[in-house]
Amino acid sequence: MGIQQIEVFPVTLRYKEPFRIAPEAHTESHNVIVKIVTDYGVIGWGESSPSERVTGETAETVIKAIDKIAPKLIGMCPLRIEQTVEMMDSIVKDNPAAKAAIDIALHDILGKTVKKPLFMVMGGYRTQVQTDITLGIKSPKEMAKDAANAVKRGFKALKVKVGVNPTEDIERIRLIREAAGEEVQIRIDANQGWTPKQAITALNKMEKFNIQFAEQPVPAENMKGLIEVKKNSPIPLMADESIHSPQDAIRLIKAEAVDLINIKLMKSGGILKGRKIAEIAEAANIPCMIGCMGESEIGIAAGAHLAAAAKNIQYADLDSDLLLKDKLVKKGGTKVENSMRTFPKQNGLGIKEVNEKLLGKPKKIYK
């Protein structure tokens, strides 16, 4: 039982509309798809959706890192994921989004080999996952309109991007709460856009709009600032850019710098280490969310299966495939109905048919 072939496909997926967050805006997501073929007929799909801003990776660096790793994977047992992850870490430092593509494909193979949906193999704590939908930065009035639309589409939680300037951000939240009604959860994400002082002011003024939690108010490297905001914020704080790895999670939990953690497979290096973060956090009574970068249905399915499997992943922000105009997966993956991600009966990640035209020919084949 061994890995026989690895194919690597760079893909460009367009967003439905420009997606803006505090530090930047995107019209496309540049991802790398990995297909791993085994010698017993099972194939696995994986995806990397690198963020240069968060981990310093691009599609090009992902392809370079996989070029070092892939030849060593040929002949290895695809089910020995822990061993493979150790091997990847010994060959290439960092590059978590590149490693995530391999890790996800191996988990897909695991599910298909034992003939079960992946979340069932990994523990099967829940059978569906509620996701929020993200509102990118626009004028406060436009965002209120987007909020009303999202509620109409059945979403029960809105993730609102802020971090531009505190006065305008407070106005955003006021209008969005008005448009969305009282029942809907509102969580905010400043993407490191505020200073600690601005964050403390904004969060105290936003309290009355009933905010569930606030993600990454201050720059990732400013742990002191994060601690100061946490001490003075009436709203629980979630770390995103501050925590990539299990080691980061321990460091911030020990420093009492966070109330919640946003796990992303592209920061952790895939499902295996994403799960380690969830378990470390569980032991410290810190609930987790699973988030995403710009993944297609493949990477989103990976996040959803992990979220369904792990008890401590209590929230999900798994919506990038919904924000993309280009659909890489024609059949299979997860479905969204009334804000719930549900899983088809297929094994592994459940990817049944990929859009061959969008995928194109492999840039590299290792065998």
Of 35, 112, 161, 267, which residue is the catalytic one?
A: 161
For the chain, give the secondary structure using H, E and C.
CCEEEEEEEEEEEEEEEEEEECCEEEEEEEEEEEEEEECCCCEEEEEECCCHHHHCCCHHHHHHHHHHHHHHHCCCCCCCHHHHHHHHHHHCCCCHHHHHHHHHHHHHHHHHHCCCEHHHHCCCCCCEEEECEEECCCCHHHHHHHHHHHHHCCCCEEEEECCCCHHHHHHHHHHHHHHHCCCCEEEEECCCCCCHHHHHHHHHHHHHHCEEEEECCCCCCCHHHHHHHHHHCCCCEEECCCCCCHHHHHHHHHCCCCCEEEECHHHHCCHHHHHHHHHHHHHCCCCEEECCCCCCHHHHHHHHHHHHHCCCEEEECCCHHHHECCCCEEEECCEEECCEEECCCCCECCEEEECHHHHCCCCEEEC
Question: Residues binding Mg ion: what is the number (CB under 5 A)?
Answer: 3
Query: In angstroms, what is the minimal distance from the CB of 324 to Mg ion?
Result: 18
Nearer to Mg ion, 151 or 293 (CB): 293
Binding mask 236-255 for Mg ion (x = CB under 5 A): ----x---------------
295 lies in the site for Mg ion, by CB under 5 A: no
Nearer to Mg ion, 240 or 295 (CB): 240
Nearer to Mg ion, 7 or 215 (CB): 215
Which of residues 7, 103, 215, 319 is near Mg ion by CB under 5 A? 215
Nearer to Mg ion, 132 or 215 (CB): 215
Reply yes or no on whether 205 is catalytic: no
Nearer to Mg ion, 9 or 19 (CB): 19
Reply yes or no on whether 141 is catalytic: no
Nearer to Mg ion, 240 or 319 (CB): 240
Interface with Mg ion in residues 91-150 (CB under 5 A): none
Task: Name the one range near Mg ion by CB under 5 A: 127-135, 232-240, 272-280, 359-367.
Answer: 232-240
Interface with Mg ion in residues 167-206 (CB under 5 A): 189
Binding mask 42-61 for Mg ion (x = CB under 5 A): --------------------
42 with 113: CB under 8 angstroms?
Answer: yes
Task: Report which residue's Cβ sits closest to Mg ion.
Answer: 240
Query: In angstroms, what is the minimal distance from the CB of 317 to Mg ion?
Result: 8
Of 35, 99, 264, 273, which residue is the catalytic one?
A: 264
Residues marked active site are found at 161, 264
Q: Which residues make up the interface to Mg ion (CB under 5 A)?
A: 189, 215, 240
